[in-house]
Structure 1
Amino acid sequence: MFRNKLAAIVCLTGLALSAAHATVRLPALVSSHMVLQRNQPLPLWGWAAPGEAVSVSFLGKTYRATAPDTTGRWQVTLPAMPAGGPYTITVKGQNTLELTDVLLGDVWLASGQSNMQFKVKDSNPNGYQPVQQADQEIAAATWPRIRFFTVSPAVAYQPQADVSGSGWQVCSPATVAQFSAVSYFFARNLWQRYQVPVGVVVSSWGGTPAEAWTSAEGLRHFPEFEARVADFMHKTADIHTDSSLPGGPQMQPTALYNGMIAPLQPLALTGVIWYQGESNVERAEQYRTLFPALIADWRQHWGTELPFLFVQLANWRPTQPQPSESDWAELREAQALALRLPRTGMATTIDIGDAADIHPHNKQEVGRRLALAARHVVYGDAKVVSSGPTYVGMTTAGPAVRLKFAHTGAGLLAKGGPALQGFAVAGADHIFYWATARLAGTEVVVQSSQVAAPVAVRYDWADNPTGNLYNTEGLPAVPFRTDTWPGITSGKK
């Protein structure tokens, strides 16, 4: 028995000594089965003992770094390489780490709130309902060159160095149910189109506002957040039990950026897909500047003009019988205004929502429309029609208004026609009335017998509108208004 105890002590001592020397470690994102970004310089990083020499071997070449004496955080940058794999990466310091089954392809960051978090089929009985035809989708999900890393929810007062998460998971019927549904259908569309490996890092949290996903630097031009950010950054209490945080820590400006976005840098990316806005609806006017600030903020921190593709909020709530004001319409308008930024794209989902469920189940079409935006903005497919008709101008002639559109594709149509629906006009009194509308080639002519001198037109300006203007490629017209009159969220911070 003594010999057995001695052997056990020796074994444990050896393990302890081994652990003491095993000083090289990698962030959660850098692991086996990962996808690295093709055709870009590739930063790989980790931590080691201060002053420790570290080498990274990949495809027959070795890259070296020395851990700084201050932080121990080392980094190497591999040269740009084409898509391919699987490969092995070996990291050596006092210990050796081997990463296997590594692919080179396109890496996307998927973020936002619950409609991005929404899984293909949630195992939690209290979670979101499955996507439509979930079981068939799961059974067919053998796509070994699609990989997902799902970041665990995390909040922090200050930017963090690492995340926890699912690890890189290879897409299969055994894993896909827990993937973000929008992200999965987006990735599948891209793989089927380009046959390039796709990696998706999903960092999302339901019910959260845009300011929580923005850094302190990104919010510096918003005086309404200044005091909250300053106070938040200097807190020392346990963030998870701090009762002074209204709505919970995940609702605080910078909290999710610090815990779930900052630690992902400097991972090389193809771009970002974003589905968020529901939690900012009551401050839609503010979102007109807040959302572009978030985009600029992430681009600043990554040091590159990341393509940024986003989903415009779907239709929801009961349909109203008369034209009325809508904070949801104002938020959609704020989202569309972000298209003024370069390298952006938007998937309009005004026709695939659910009046009774803020989490519509047709995530397949959301992913497809995001992929169309990616094909145009990122992959340079000039021929693809990636948007529905978009308002660009109007002229008036008596009681009639003629509307001009871009992104008309091969032509306009009234889906389910023959009559167009969803248009309203107003005169100088700002009172809107439903209008009759007809197609005139790639334009639309609208008028109302109740408005002799129209000055403004609105289309699908409602929580849950009924418009049916499409292009022949099957994409719905982007909701719009021609006026700039103050909305119901005007001045709200």
Structure 2
Amino acid sequence: MRWTTGLLLGLVGWTASEAQAAVKLPSVFGSHMVLQRDQPVPVWGWADKGEEVTVSFRDQSVTVKAGEDGKWSTKLAPLAVGEPATLTIKGTNTIELTDVLVGEVWVCSGQSNMQWSVQAALDSDLEAAATGQSGIRLFQVPNVLAHEPQDDVKAEWRACTPENIPTFSAVAYFFGRQLHETLDVPVGIIQTAWGGTPAEAWTRHDHLDADDDFQPIIDTWADRAQNYNEAEVKAKHAEALEKWKVAVAKAKADGKQPPQRPRDPQAPKANPHYPCVLFNAMIAPLTPYAIKGAIWYQGESNAGRAHQYRELMPTMIKSWRDDWGQGDFPFYQVQLANFKEIKTEPGDSDWAELREAQTLAKLAIPAVDAACITDLGVAKDIHPKDKQNVAKRLARLALVDVYGMKTIVRNGPTYKSLTVQNGKALVDFDNGGRKLISYYNEPLSGFAIAGADKKWVWGTAKIVDEDTIEISHPEITEPVAVRYNWADNPQGNLYSDAYLPAYPFRSDDWAGITVGKLAP
């Protein structure tokens, strides 16, 4: 079954017919916005058919004529950072957007850990009270979905004030603040994130539909929509609620934590997990607004299909780049944090496989990488509160790669190669000129070693030079593979002397536990 479309769900702003008789702009253009510096700046909107529209900013003025469908678009030549100015759009009416800055614009997307607000993060009271952030501007896309690409969203640019900071994405805000402080230029942050959502919901339909490996995703949701029985679902939900009430009463009587309330039923096509619906409603309306790059914190909802994510993530990124039409803009992911029960023995892990898929994305397409945060998580909380260090590690990647600040340490140690000598495994790391260390100078942990029988045991690991670790085990005389921090909640302590953690890795290519899992 190939791709099918449905009805529009939720919001979605202006249509061409509504825009007749007056020049209008999508909401991504507004007072207090930031325009991307040093590259062409697309400006677009709606007007009467054939109406001339003039766009003016600083010393530039460009006139364009609306097409048969009432749509018009033009571009401003690359802009430099300067004082706040007014963007004027004039047709039969005049729109003046004031307090417009020029600087760096980044899109920040993903699921709940990107959506997680400043007011719920570490030191929220101190962070929300910050002033003097006039050079940072915030644009927050609401949670809406659609089954066709949309032209607009209901949102607006806001100044960065103690009133606006608390409800904004913590990772996005802290990332933008780090860029602003380091580069000393205005920064515009576009938050477009929805908790619990998978990557396929953020992917453009023609890209998803073009790969047979993703067909099980499309087919599964199409079948769910076709076979949805609202009455039956409501009856089952009512039954689940009654059982939940009994369980809550028992938990309270026993002095235990009560179970979570069953989620309210949701029609498949109203579900934000449905393929492409978030791209349509929360990404498409933003394009082709000029941006420098994107950061992405997601993956938890795809961990059960981690092997598929190896192709899905590059496909999603390509679909964004195709829609934006400004080439291979930088795209930085956040690797999944350490989470869930700490295992006493080495073994398989879907979260480890998802982290690997995030790492492999940089080999599949250009200008992609991931920040390692396997030391920032919490075993019993999927939403670690330390978003400041998450943002800093993302900022390190951007500041080095995009802005050429080579004095900054980019990231922690990454796996380079494995050799075997005298029954011991030697792992070389790419460490950017830094030295390998164990945190707090404790014995190294987190290294597993296996022979040809593929049975994993914890190895004894030690640093033998500034880039090399030796791993051994008395029962494995002919090691063939090594893994590091290969677990849902890894506890390895290998760092660079810049106190950035080593990335999880495996030297083997043995089939993982998520191979062949293609349907949600």
| Distance apart, 1:263 and its partner CA | 1.0
Q: How far did residue 294 of structure 1 move?
A: 1.1
- State the Cα distance separating 1:231 from its structure 2 match: 10
Task: Classify 1:285/1:232 alpha carbon distance in 2 versus 1 (closer, same or farther; 3 Å).
Answer: closer
Contact 2:359–2:369 (8 Å) recurs in 1: no
Residue 85 of structure 1: how far off its partner (Å)? 2.5
User: Is the counterpart of residue 203 in structure 1 residue 225 in structure 2?
Assistant: no
**1:88 — aligned with what?**
86
Name 2:426's counterpart in structure 1: 402
Matched, 1:158 2:148: yes
2:383 pairs with 1:366:
no
> In the alignment, which residue of structure 2 is the partner of 1:440?
464
Tell me how far 1:288 sits from its aligned partner.
0.7
2:60 equivalent in structure 1: 61
**TM-score normalised by L of structure 2:** 0.85
Structure 1 runs of 4+ aligned residues shifted over 4 Å read: 19-22, 227-233, 241-245
CA deviations 1:40-90 (Å, max 9, x no partner) are 111111111111111112113321111112x21111210001112300011
CA–CA separation in structure 1 for the residues paired with 2:486 and 2:367: 26
Which residue of 138, 154, 170 maps to 1:148? 138
SS class of match (2:103): strand
For residues 369 and 189 of structure 1, the distance between their equivalents in structure 2, rounded to whole angstroms, comes to 10
In the alignment, residue 266 of structure 1 is paired with which amino acid? P
Q: CA RMSD in A?
A: 2.3
Is 1:316 the counterpart of 2:339 in the alignment?
yes
2:84 corresponds to which letter in structure 1?
Answer: P
CA apart distance, 1:318: 1.4
Structure 1 unpaired stretches of 5+: 1-18, 122-129
Equivalent position of 1:193 in the other structure: 182
Task: List aligned pairs for 1:46-445, cutoff 5 A.
Answer: 46-69=45-68, 71-121=69-119, 130-165=120-155, 167-226=156-215, 229=218, 246=268, 248-303=270-325, 304-340=327-363, 341-441=365-465, 442-445=467-470
Q: What SS class does the counterpart of residue 64 from structure 1 fall into? A: strand
Question: What is the match of residue 42 of structure 2?
Answer: 43
CA distance in 1, matches of 2:513, 2:51: 59
- What are the ranges of 5 or more consecutive residues in structure 2 without an aligned counterpart? 1-17, 234-264
* Residue 258 of structure 1, CA deviation: 0.7
SS in structure 2 at match of 1:217? helix
SS state of the match for residue 383, structure 1? coil
Q: What residue identity is the alignment partner of 2:299?
A: G
Tell me whether 277-286 or 244-253 shows the greater mean CA deviation.
Answer: 244-253
Once the two structures are overlaid, the 10-residue window that deviates more, 433-442 or 58-67, is 58-67
Give the distance between the partners of 1:455 and 1:301, measured in 2 at CA.
44
Provide, for residues 134-159 of structure 1, a one-character-per-residue CA deviation record: whole Å limited to 9, x for no partner: 10111124301100100011111111
1:175 deviates by: 1.0
Distance 2:215 2:186 in 1: 42
The answer as to whether partners of 1:409 and 1:472 remain within 8 angstroms in 2 is: no
SS at structure 1 position matched to 2:272: helix
Residue identity over aligned pairs, in percent, reads 46
Q: Which residue of 2 aligns with 1:7?
A: none
Give the Cα separation in 1 of the matches to 2:369 and 2:214: 28
Which residue is 2:236 aligned to? none
Q: Tell me how far 1:201 sits from its aligned partner.
A: 0.8
Moved more, 289-298 or 278-287: 289-298
1:27 and 1:87 map into 2 onto residues whose CA distance is 19
Change (3 A) 1:467 1:232: closer
Instruction: Please give the alpha-carbon distance, in whole angstroms, between the structure 2 residues aligned to 1:486 and 1:295.
Output: 25
Secondary structure, counterpart of 1:250 in structure 2: coil
Instruction: Assess, with a 3 A threshold, how the Cα gap between structure 1 residues 437 and 111 changes in structure 2: closer, same or farther.
Output: same
Separation in structure 1 between the aligned mates of residue 269 and residue 498 of structure 2, nearest angstrom: 43
Distance 1:60 1:469 in 2: 54
Q: 3-state DSSP class of the match of 1:286?
A: helix
Asked if 2 retains the 8 angstrom alpha-carbon contact of 1:390 and 1:477, the reply is yes
CA contact (8 A) 2:20 2:70 kept: no
2:478 corresponds, among 429, 445, 453, to 453
CA shift at 1:249, angstroms?
Answer: 2.5
Listed one character per residue, the Cα deviations across residues 77-123 of structure 1 (whole Å, up to 9, x for unaligned) are 100011123000111111111100000000001110000000001xx
Compared CA separation, residues 427 and 141, structure 1 to 2 (3 A): farther
| CA shift for structure 1 position 383 | 3.4
Closer/same/farther in 2, CA of residues 215 and 270 from structure 1, 3 Å limit: same
CA shift at 1:244, angstroms?
9.0
Amino acid across the alignment from 1:438: K
Deviation at residue 366 of structure 1 after TM alignment: 0.3
Question: Shift in Å at residue 191 of structure 1?
Answer: 0.7
User: In 2, are the aligned partners of 1:353 and 1:360 still within 8 Å (CA)?
Assistant: yes
Tell me the secondary structure at the aligned position of residue 373 of structure 1: helix
Paired residues of 2:20 and 2:48 also in contact (CA < 8 A): no
Rounded Cα–Cα distance in structure 2 between residues aligned with 1:42 and 1:270: 11
Could you tell me whether the CA contact under 8 Å between 1:229 and 1:254 is conserved in 2? no
SS in 1 for 2:48: coil
Specify whether residues 443 and 58 from structure 1 end up closer, same or farther in structure 2 by C-alpha distance, changes over 3 A only: same
Structure 1's 193 and 302: CA in aligned 2 closer, same or farther, altered over 3 A?
Answer: same
Aligned to 2:26: 27
Whole-Å Cα distance in 2 between the matches of residues 277 and 21 of structure 1? 42
CA 1:21–1:204 in 2, change beyond 3 Å: closer, same or farther? closer
1:252 deviates by: 1.2
Task: Measure the CA separation in 2 of the matches of 1:232 and 1:391.
Answer: 38
1:449 positional shift? 1.4
Q: Compute the TM-score of the two structures, normalised by the length of structure 1.
A: 0.90
Q: Contact 2:436 / 2:495 at 8 angstroms: preserved in 1?
A: yes
Contact preservation (8 Å) 1:344, 1:377: no
Distance 2:367 2:404 in 1: 11
Q: Does the C-alpha gap of structure 1 residues 464 and 417 become closer, same or farther in structure 2, counting only changes over 3 Å?
A: same
Q: 365-374 or 292-301: which moved more?
A: 292-301
Partner of 1:465: 490
> Which amino acid in 2 is paired with 1:93?
G
Assess if the C-alpha contact under 8 Å between 1:315 and 1:349 holds in 2. Answer: yes
Secondary structure in 1 matching 2:209: coil
